[in-house]
Structure 1
Amino acid sequence: MSDLIRITIPVGQYVPSFEKVAVSAREVLAPVSADTQQDALGREWYRRSWMIAAGMALLVAAVATGFLLREKYRGKPTIVPVGQTASEPTVGLPVGEEIHILAGSNRKYVDHAGKLWGRDAFFTGGSPVASSVQHIWRTQDPIIYRNSRQGDFSYNVPLKPGIYELRLHFAETFYGPESSGGGGEGSRTMTVSANGQVLLHDFDVLADAAGERTADVKVFPKISPSSDGQLHLAFSSAQSGSAMVSAIEILPGVREQIRPVRIVARDAPYYSDDSRWWSPDTYFKGGQLRASQEPAEGTDDPEFYETERWGHFSYAIPVAAGQYAITLHFIERNSAETSGGGAEDRTFDVFCNGKAIVRKVNIRDRVGGNRPLVVKIKGLEPNAQGKLLVEFVPVTRYATVSAIEVVAE
């Protein structure tokens, strides 16, 4: 006879009990039948299958939870008291030589920002094309987009050594349901390269801009001249239509990121008290501009908040790949002559690329009348078209904004 130990844990307890069990040697050494072995193997396989399934379920749940938490907290708005904005580090614009070329044009032009655009230069091939279209969406300077160079062509622009930001301007003024060429998406596609590296492949201006007669800007940081001291840009027609470009900008760049974008809702540029240069209103669609003579309170720069864009509108701000912080500046006037009337009841939502980033904005409830409200949203990424599409959607009365700042994180 042999003694075995039986270990049991009584129900509702955590301390095991031990009991000796007498077993004969024959029982201990008895061979296990084939059926018994098969049953044991089956039970083991069944147990392991459930363990694997449970492990996979836990893994999927963990991944899903992480994704949901990432989406929940990414782009979460942070309310910044206006008094703290001055203490934030100022990201200035790099200085240096700038090049502004009006493709296909033989005239110079000074835009609303005060930039001088030169006549077409440094090109080889292609033909100049002029358009009679008057209105161009998302710009205060339609003249920039009424001319273009089209066909298969190149630009060889001499540059000093350094890092530059390249901005290519397009607008489809020939193809589209309301234009003389008819058609629409797919009517014109092209490939664009810089120093032999493809920047845009099968690029469709109309599709990228989400419509005809719409200014479309593509931004490329970290651009440098080749060994011969020139930037070689090549435009080639793809599956349909002719390649084209309306204007070319080459600006001093910021290493590894784009230049800060600062837009103030007015028709002229502005230097704020913290020495930041703000571009006049651009990239917008919808809404109206309005100015107020009522000075803002609670800020060292009341003039900055004199103007606004109000209504139901959007901004398609071109950026490069990466993450960005957007700072929105608002103010609600005390006077009865407010934008759209009924300032007391004004509420609106703000979306970026279809995602709500600020809900039910009520400026008066948050900071009172005639005082700036600054909202900063971090962790935003561009859409497939390289844009931060910021939409201001009224809930009650009309939406409003005084200025927008976009800085790479």
Structure 2
Amino acid sequence: MIRAVLFALLAFAAPALAQDGNDVFRLGDDIYVAGGTLSLDTEGTDDVFAAGENIDLRAPITGSAYLAGRRVATHAEVAGTLFASGADVAASAPVGGDAMLMGYDVSVSAAIGGDLRAAARHLKLDAPVGGTALLAADTVEIDAAIAGDVAITANVVEFGPGASIGGRLKLSTGEDEPVVPESVIPPDRIERHALTEDLQILPEHGPRDWMAIATGAAIGALILTILVTLLSLIAPAGVERLSRIAADRPWRTFGMGFLALAVLVGSAILLALTILGLLAAPVVLLAAFGFAFLGYLIGVWMVGRGTWGWIGLLEPDTLGERFLTALIGAVIVGLAALVPFLAWFAVPVLTLLGLGALIVAWLHPGFGHPE
């Protein structure tokens, strides 16, 4: 998720990078940069967005740092929040705010002023944390003070002489439970769970639970109805045309939708093979999601419109009729989604039908209009 956000932000800088042939795009006091080996040593920088092979932060920044690469290291202070993702991640300079670190090997050797959230294969913490710590790794080594609560999920947990926890400790480990010295935290503030234990996080459904599920489904159907109604009001003739296209040639429409979505997702994968293309890949994926959601809304309208016509009613014209048509579609789709087998293909089929109708209408402007 963090990489997607980072690359989406960097994508805004891609056109400027392509135009001036430079690796760095500056906007105010913020820097957007992509490349191979990056040494970020510009003074007076607020926020930094960087993606590359090797990233080294060498100058202090007054804002936040968003870094993604194979090797990521910070050797200068980050006053705000640090987001770092890579194979090797080393936070070697103080962070004033929170830190979110992800990688194969993650090490923290400078103070974190806020909360620490880290996921790795091997995680080593040798500097104090001013807030809470959420740690997940195969091996976790702690040799520093953590002021707040700590949650650790790991196979192996080791505490050094400098380790201490000011709050409570939630410890989820394998069969070999680690020994937690009292110098780290008193035993009465430790909550242990086994990774092999089947923890029942959600209770079995009772009457009130099913009532809550039904209430949530009703709210979801109402939201979907409103969105579909708005779509039909924005383009009344368009949704009617798309419904006719899908009804006249359902298999062709479905195939066009499948092809369009495959092209969008496939192009995102191909773009991700290059550095600059990697910047655009999240934007393409976001576009694919947007078109798919639009196709889903169109598909819900098609279901409602088909049912509306099947019961012998004329084309919905007023706001009330459009709302009822959308409501019928939303309820039918919602009920289908509650049935496991139907849910597996009903939503994808509707999405691809709606998307395919859009593509057919775009490629064939005259098709689907009333005669």
TM bracket, shorter-chain basis: under 0.3
Q: Name which structure has the greater RCO, CA cutoff 8 Å, separation 6+.
A: 1
More strand by share: 1
TM-score normalised by L of structure 1: 0.20
More helix by share: 2
